[in-house]
Amino acid sequence: MDLAIFVEGQYGLTWDRWKRLVRAVEDLGYAALFRSDHFTQRQPPDQDALELWVSLTWLADHTSRVEFGPLVSPVSFRNPVFTARMAKDVDDLSGGRLRLGLGAGWQEREHTVFGFDLLDLKPRFDRFEEGVEVITRLLRSEVPVDFEGQYYQLRGAQLLPRPARPGGPPILIGGGGKKRTLPLVARIADEWNATRVPPAELKAQNLYLDGLVQAEGRAPESVFRSIMLNLIYGEDESAVRRNLQVREMTLETAQYKGVWGSSEQIVDQLGAYAEAGAQRVMLQWVNLDDLDTLEKIAVKVLPQL
């Protein structure tokens, strides 16, 4: 199992902060860096929010090792044709290190503020399925693509130049819904991303997904498994308590939704996630200026994974 970092771009991400984070994650040996794709916070006041694909383009051209991507880029305010075009070009620029996280959209406020139609849940997911289909066909097909959907239409469409990586960047889809999300993952995705569940729940979801993947005629190991978790770090009890207060979180919530405690405790908890099937853990990094803790985790945790 490897360790990645995930940042919320709407929590004050500026160019200076982004460049420092990117360089730190690359230099400290983390496997990947992901960031959210949002315009606003769920509630005001809003903070700086550096545009997703522009920031990933800079990362692609200023790093040489680390994987990266959106977690996730919604079709609700990004046309899938443009997402496919940008993704294959950014992936090429990086030498094949992008992982393309896609989502349906969920945050009502940013859609209302900027005039995007989020839709009710069922049509939102209908649109998402169409968007994923459009993106994957454009990336994976070597011949012009036709598609006739309710929300998107293609008539002899082809992206040129073709992606340098055959099939383009891997498609990541997150969520645990058994009716629509996991079946879509099983049918089309290269990576499934779970969010803030304890190891026992992750194991159960992994086993369920295995069955769906096999029913699609694919091998379970063809779908990479990752999970995004909260992090509450402190080498002693008082430090843990302080960080819980900063995050306005109880210990019970921290235990359920992520890893917490000293470096040794975190290593043990990550081991439980590995046993549950996680091949990558993405730690949510809320304090964008906290490079000191980023370094401590790299020094004390990474070598033990």
**165 pLDDT more than 90:** yes
Domain that holds residue 151: 2-304
Q: How far apart are CA 161 and CA 219, in angstroms?
A: 31
Both structure tokens of 53: 């694909």
Asked if 1 contacts 273 with a C-beta cutoff of 8 angstroms, the reply is: yes
Q: β-strand 32-35 against 67-70: which pairing, if any?
A: parallel
What predicted TM-score, i.e. pTM, was given to this entire model? 0.96
The total of structural domains in the chain comes to: 1
Determine the pLDDT at residue 246.
Answer: 87
Q: What CATH number should be reported for the domain holding residue 166?
A: 3.20.20.30
Residue 98, pLDDT score: 98
Q: In this predicted model, what pLDDT tens digit does every residue of 70-115 receive, in sequence order?
A: 999 999 999 999 999 999 999 999 999 999 999 999 999 999 999 9
> What is the per-residue pLDDT across 23-81, written as a single tens digit (0 to 9) for each?
999 999 999 999 999 999 999 999 999 999 999 999 999 999 999 999 999 999 999 99
Distance CA 249, CA 190 (A): 33
Least confident of 153-167, 168-182, 212-226, 239-253: 239-253
218-236 pLDDT, tens digit per residue, is 999 999 999 999 999 999 9
User: What is residue 220's DSSP assignment?
Assistant: G
Q: What is the mean pLDDT of residues 195-217?
A: 97
